[in-house]
Amino acid sequence: MHDIVIRSGAVVDGTGNARRTADVAIADGRIAAVGADVGPGRRTLDADGLLVMPGWVDIHSHYDGQALWDPVLETSAGHGVTTVVMGNCGVGFAPVRPEHRPWTIALMEGVEDIPAAVLEEGLNWRWQTFPEYLDALAAAPHAIDVAAQVPHAALRVFAMGERGIDHAEVPTDDEVATMGRLAAEAVEAGAVGFTSSRSRNHVASDGRITPSFSAGDAELLGIAEALGRTGKGVVEINVDTRDLEGDLALLRRLCEASRRPVSMGLLQRPGQGQTYRQVLRAFEEAAAAGHTLLGQAAARPTGLLQSLGGRVNPLAPSATYREVSEHDPGALHTPDVKARILDELSGAADTSARFPLAYELGDPPRYDRWQSESLAARAAAAGIPLKELVYDIVVGGGFVYVPVSNYVDGDLCAVHEMLVHPLTVPGLSDGGAHCTMIADFDYPTFLLAYWGRDAPEGLRLSVEWVAQQQCSATASLVGLHDRGRLEPGKRADVNLVDLAAVGSTVPALVHDLPAGGGRLVSRGNGYVATIVAGEVTFEHGSHTGALAGSLARI
């Protein structure tokens, strides 16, 4: 007798093979059988008319703190994600000595927009070393699996002390050896990799650039070599390709030194419209030389969500707005207050002028926009100033979506090109980060809803491709070979999906983080049931209370 039998679904197994009608049997948290006659189960789920797919594996999140106080991680778990990998971009909370805890918080606040007050209240600091941090994660309850990576910034400060915070400081040979030893120790304890950042945008809230920013070869390659000697783990690095040749050469040396898979966030950045293609060529050259160098590709243009409650509020420069919103927000709807605020939003205070291609997110939210739908085009057609249209949207409770990266050409063709390249996997959802101005945690839902269903003919991708990429390719990149496919013996992480209904609700700002911190939350529609390690964890977007997740160690 199986624990669960999923009957008569269209099984999309994550291998890339075409869907087939079959039953899926689950026993002891694993897939027991997939086929026509799998026998009875204690519980039967009718999947007639539904897709049966592996749970999503999201390899780019920042739940490093939240995973310790929030068992559900709804922003990912409510979108069919069954495994999240944290610790990306070189930032995190271990290893850390007590005196540097506030600094790790300032770095996370600055780089990933997670408010310091939230982290100060939420973190209990029952660890110093990375293995101790893993034990703290393992001891916490989880609805889905979490996996951790050891971040360069924390390693550096643990090994170098205060000096390590300054990116220009060069570690001694001994300090490099210590960082390498600690990275290897983390991976031996179950971390899935080591991460770093060379992004100029990664600045702590105290104004100091991220410590790994200018790390030299001796340091980076020393850590990579030590990691490589374990024969386990991956390297993730955030490079902004401002020094394209230098960055690509460094990635190659990281591959050679570690002999482990290396990945980087791949974006089409403003002002660098074609650079992503050179990066893809570099991936191909690395592959030809026997290395695994992959890009993490975003499911859509990445950008900001502007709103009244969020961190980016287009009305904030107006003194009248600040006064009225605090004491009499209802007055924002009156014509004279509106006129005063719009008057004050002139010149440099008129941020709408800075974003010529901005859109109303709408409800249901739409991220696939053509330039003819831009707010500028709509304002011109309506004969009103752009800032007035922005005012009406945000005062009405809506979001203004400003695509920044992956939108240089004003369409989603570059996104498509990056996604379908054989040397990329879906990534960059940044779940848990950028709490009130980005809601990209729903990338897996968008991948399925848009690319697997709604995209125009010629750009549309198969559901089978989506499952292979967002379940199997992501899992195998980070060494979690026990999941991502519906095959006997694999973990029973499964989504029952009503494809016609798949989509995201419009994000809502809720203040449920520690210290009353806000975050944008949206719900995934179309996920009839999500199963984690053999237990039904979400049904129709609501948590069942099951906490079958755990720390995934490699």
Task: State the residues that interact with Zn ion by CB under 5 A.
Answer: 88-89
Query: What tokens appear for 265 in the block?
Result: 């966030």
Shortest Å, Cβ 430 to Zn ion: 5
Q: Which residue has the tokens 């559900």?
A: 72
Q: Which residue has the tokens 């009499």?
A: 328
Shortest Å, Cβ 89 to Zn ion: 4
Indicate the residue among 88 and 306 with the shorter CB distance to Zn ion: 88
Closest CA to 210 of 233, 239, 186: 239
Indicate the residue among 89 and 337 with the shorter CB distance to Zn ion: 89
Shortest Å, Cβ 464 to Zn ion: 28
Shortest Å, Cβ 87 to Zn ion: 9
Indicate the residue among 299 and 497 with the shorter CB distance to Zn ion: 299
| Coil vs helix vs strand at 42 | strand
Shortest Å, Cβ 65 to Zn ion: 14
140 neighbors 71 (Cβ within 8 angstroms): yes
Q: Which residue has the tokens 């997670």?
A: 114
Indicate the residue among 133 and 441 with the shorter CB distance to Zn ion: 441
| Coil vs helix vs strand at 302 | strand
Indicate the residue among 85 and 144 with the shorter CB distance to Zn ion: 85
Query: What tokens appear for 21 in the block?
Result: 């009608």
Shortest Å, Cβ 362 to Zn ion: 26
DSSP conformation class of 532: E
Helices (H), 270-412: 275-288, 319-327, 335-344, 375-382, 386-395
- Closest-approach residue to Zn ion (CB): 89
Helix 275-288 vs helix 244-258: angle between axes, to the nearest 10 degrees? 30
Q: Residue 130 and residue 47: Cα distance in Å, rounded?
A: 42
Q: Which residue has the tokens 């203004």?
A: 400
Indicate the residue among 210 and 504 with the shorter CB distance to Zn ion: 210
List Cα–Cα distances, 129 to 179, 325, 492, in angstroms.
12, 45, 32
Q: Residue 92 and residue 318: Cα distance in Å, rounded?
A: 36
Indicate the residue among 428 and 513 with the shorter CB distance to Zn ion: 428
Shortest Å, Cβ 498 to Zn ion: 31
